[in-house]
Amino acid sequence: MQLTLHSPLDMHLHLRDGQMLQTVAPLSAKSFAGALVMPNLVPPVTTKEMVQSYKERIKEAMGDEVFEPYMTLFFRPEYDYAFLADIKDSILAIKLYPAGITTNSEDGVDNFSVEALAPTLEAMSELGIPLCVHGETNGFVMDREAEFIPIYERIAKRFPDLKIIMEHITTKDAVDALMKYENLYATITLHHLYITLDDVAGGLLQPHLFCKPIAKRPEDRMALRKVALMAHEKVMFGSDSAPHPRDKKEAPGCAAGVFTAPIALPALAQLFEAAGVLENLQKFVSDNAQNIYGITPPKKEVKLVKEPFEVPSSYNNVVPMFAGESLAWRIAGGI
């Protein structure tokens, strides 16, 4: 059995920088025609020059592969209309992090009153720049996403023309909220479609599955699967693939993040096929994102074949999800 995906997109990707960028960029390029690249470098990507030079470094790391890095800017409440109008053509979206909520987010937002955010959000709305949000409070780890929903709702109501992407949603509550406002959209990761907290901490502790937002309850995963597998037009694939060196993951104080870029399409094909909806995968991994963001990615066919794929134990020093296990699909030509 074969499956050809047309210009698959990963709408939430961490490529890092330096040596790590060299390791992971080619792996995304083998699977995807493009990706929305997160700006949480150290320091975060906050200027046009930083966006442009980061994009250049990404393109270099991609080599000859057809791959469009869609760039994001790290949200700051002081961005004004003139700044945003100038940078608009260099980015696809702006990513908002609550301060300290995940890897390299220390410079994020700590005041979520609409007044504090309004000038920037108004300008974004007028200029048509989508807002991507890591929607978690600093509350109890299982409640953080649900507690953030009123903030999504306030922003969605106040700025009805602003496209808001609820990034890497993990709960039934988030799925429900998503459906209530026309201008809310969401990315869903591979790992949140596969795992619950049981897989992280229900047996032995599994640091390579530790991520933020943390994987939730079985009924949450069910809600995510439901909208992903039907390729609901409001959701799109965003891997949140987040590489950390093995020694940072396999030690106390393990960093949050699951590395899925090289195995995402085979694992998605396996999941969609098992649910009998393989035909929906094209929408989930590309068409929906094209519609939501109004983009036309470079033409690229990625062929999957239903043959066992023995997932490597690591890619350089980065351990992927399903390391050492076998997936039912592989990318033709290998990865």
Residues at the interface with a second copy (CB under 8 A): 140-142, 196-198, 200-202, 204-208, 210, 214, 217-218, 249-256
- 134 known member of a binding site: yes
| Buried residues in 145-155 as b, exposed as e (16+ CB within 10 A) | bbebbebbeeb
- 40 known member of a binding site: yes
Handedness of CA 150, 215, 178, 115 (dihedral sign): positive
Q: Are 300 and 223 in contact (CB under 8 A)?
A: no
- 191 known member of a binding site: no
- 271 known member of a binding site: no
Burial class (CB in 10 A: 0-12, 13-18, 19+), 266: buried
Q: Are 10 and 300 in contact (CB under 8 A)?
A: no
- 107 known member of a binding site: no
Question: In the complex with a second copy, which residue's Cβ is closer, 208 or 232?
Answer: 208
Distance CA 87, CA 129 (A): 10
Amino acid letter at 112? F
Q: Are 235 and 223 in contact (CB under 8 A)?
A: no
Catalytically annotated residue among 10, 173, 220, 240? 240
Question: In the complex with a second copy, which residue's Cβ is closer, 256 or 277?
Answer: 256
Shortest reach from residue 275's CB to a second copy, in Å:
21
3-state SS class at 175 = helix
Residue 149: C-alpha distances to residues 33, 153, 193 (Å): 32, 6, 20
Question: In the complex with a second copy, which residue's Cβ is closer, 114 or 251?
Answer: 251
- 288 known member of a binding site: no
- 244 known member of a binding site: yes
Question: In the complex with a second copy, which residue's Cβ is closer, 113 or 140?
Answer: 140
On the question of a cis peptide bond just before residue 297, with omega within 30 degrees of 0, the verdict is: no
Shortest reach from residue 249's CB to a second copy, in Å:
8
Q: Please report where in the chains the tokens 């997160």 appear, as a residue.
A: 38
Distance CA 83, CA 123 (A): 10
For the chain, the residue count is: 335
Distance CA 128, CA 169 (A): 23
Active-site residue, 287 included: no
Shortest reach from residue 213's CB to a second copy, in Å:
11
Question: In the complex with a second copy, which residue's Cβ is closer, 85 or 222?
Answer: 222
Shortest reach from residue 83's CB to a second copy, in Å:
33
Shortest reach from residue 117's CB to a second copy, in Å:
25
Task: Cite the annotated binding site by residue number.
Answer: 12, 14-16, 40, 95, 134, 168, 240, 244, 256
Residues assigned a catalytic role? 240
Task: Cite the annotated binding site for Zn(2+) by residue number.
Answer: 12, 14, 95, 134, 168, 240
